[in-house]
Chain A
């Protein structure tokens, strides 16, 4: 608490000195490591830089169902079908998964392996990696092209805001949320979005195929 209040005092004082940028340049540099760009994964075709309108600019760390750390830029190099779900969800989320699997099945076998399928959980409290693995099993998700991941409340919020997905945690612990399927190109740029409740996945499949040729 002592160092905390000291920092609270120091910070405004420091900010007040912003005219003297030269004097605290050294300090500023020390802080920069928070915002270093992440390198694109080696699978990404263009290793130079993350596209400026890519969701890979979000660098929060997630945890995948296998317990390993996961970052959005690991989806680079292939187009990705993305949705946000939570495993205690009774109706909307299972249907979302079914519709994504419809998209998967609509692809020729040669193409299905060239696509990532990613499910991100709204529910950091209940959706542990083990719970996600159980959910995958329940829905017969076995292909290595699928990833299920959970992250901090702020990582969830940031991804949802980026994808334009509204949601709210209600008192029961459940989530009211938009059900949206998004399709990213291999650079992580959102190219197509549709209502995840729509059983007709032709448009989504076409959008995905257009990214695969």
Chain B
């Protein structure tokens, strides 16, 4: 299995350690070009963009290619951030995975689940990681920002944040930052019912990261990702502090609350079910985003030592 941190940062012996090349699919769109500038400003090593028919042009000094294949051949990039509209996502994802991309950040919202399932099936065959769709992306504060998150809420540190919601990832990280808990990685799972990297897989990929003293999991109603994670924490005897937040306690049943994945059927997907499973795994659940850092402070001191 490919290692997430190795793709994102590399090894110290690598020439491009902490400067891994990234390509942007859909770089000339309004959204894609704006966020390309934002990522460049953060220091992300964006080496190429892809927009069919615009090969040979440049955006902010970044050369544009007609296909991912050409962009990869020219740069050796293994990471791609996809900004194309949802209805074209499957084609772009297949193109990227066939061209050898190993980490695909799928930004678009409203991708049909069938297209996500097909993307995931192909990614498994190619031993590649898909983050999203409907994700803000990944940030390793101070090192790399691949996605649409603002830079301001984050600072380097040793807490991993996994989040099913974009703005709540910013909100919770901002609160952690104020409380002096910097972050080692913040990863957006995505708000869809089907995720390229579900919460439990993301947890597996980061749990043994070199610089992780605690984990914050920002969840919401819908599905059973939190329940599965809680069971997994119990089964694998994970001994670092984990704190959770769950949005949607007040949401009515059978109503889709903004995210395609945020919907309760019967008791399936309800906040109560998630909170009670977390309790079994000794994971405290914050009542509001600002409480996350307080609960974490009950378990860790700011130097990351378990109390």
A binds B: no
Interface residues of B (CB under 8 A from A): none
Interface residues of A (CB under 8 A from B): none
